[in-house]
Every structure is written in C-alpha cells, then in structure tokens.
Structure 1
C-alpha cells in the first residue's frame, strides 16, 4: 500500500495581488473571482487573502471525483 503525502503551501494564506502574480493572471481577474467567491478567502484586519489551504483541499477533492 502506497501512502500519498499532501504537501501544503508553506504559508496558509497569500495576499490576492501576489496570488495573481504567482498564477499569471491580472489582479482584476483574481479580485473578481474573490468577489464572486470562486476562490476561498479570509479577511485579516482590512486585508483580503487567498486561503491556500482551502484552495488546495478543493483542488484535491475535485481531482478525486
């Protein structure tokens, strides 16, 4: 039996503008996805961050379907 390890991001959240840069999409596109709740996010203080842990879980769940 092979055990598959899940590697989580080193930081559980990322500022949405930096996330846009890392995935190669314009910031306006990511902002729209956050506003429409297509990407999981968390608000810390006045800032909105992409929840990378939840996004990873969503991707793994979709891949397993």
Structure 2
C-alpha cells in the first residue's frame, strides 16, 4: 500500500461520522475490512455507537492525522 501525503484541503468535505464498512472503502481497504474491524475492536480507531451501528469518528481521525504532521 502506498502512503500518500496528507493535505488539509483533502478533508474539507469529509463527513464527521461514517459507518465503519464505508470508512474501510474510503481508506481503500475494502478487500481487508476485517483488519479495519480489528482496529476498531482494539480501540485504534475512535468510534461512536448509534443504536446498533458502529460509526467511525472521521473528524477525530483527521484531527489526529493533521496534528501528527505538525
């Protein structure tokens, strides 16, 4: 997997919450959704439960990524 440079403008239109499977597709890991679910189960990705749905807190993920660049 190739690592891309992060730019703040890339995240202007991203939603604050996203279903975890959609998040896996968004980060181009649709073929490895089990790994993304493992990250969630281990607490590596911030999530919020809405009813029976697990949503990835994309806003917090983006914030952490941008802080790491500084």
Same fold (TM over 0.5): yes
The answer to whether structure 1 residue 58 and structure 2 residue 64 are counterparts is yes
- Could you state the TM-score of these two structures normalised by the residue count of structure 1? 0.79
Q: TM-score, normalised by structure 2?
A: 0.74
Query: Max radius of gyration: which structure?
Result: 1
**Structure 1 spans left out of the alignment, 5+ residues:** none
Runs of 4+ in 1 over 6 A off after TM superposition: none
Gaps of 5+ in 2: 1-7
CA gap of 1:35–1:9, structure 2 versus 1, over 3 A, is farther
Q: What is the count of residue pairs matched by the alignment?
A: 60
Q: Which has more helix, going by share of residues?
A: 2
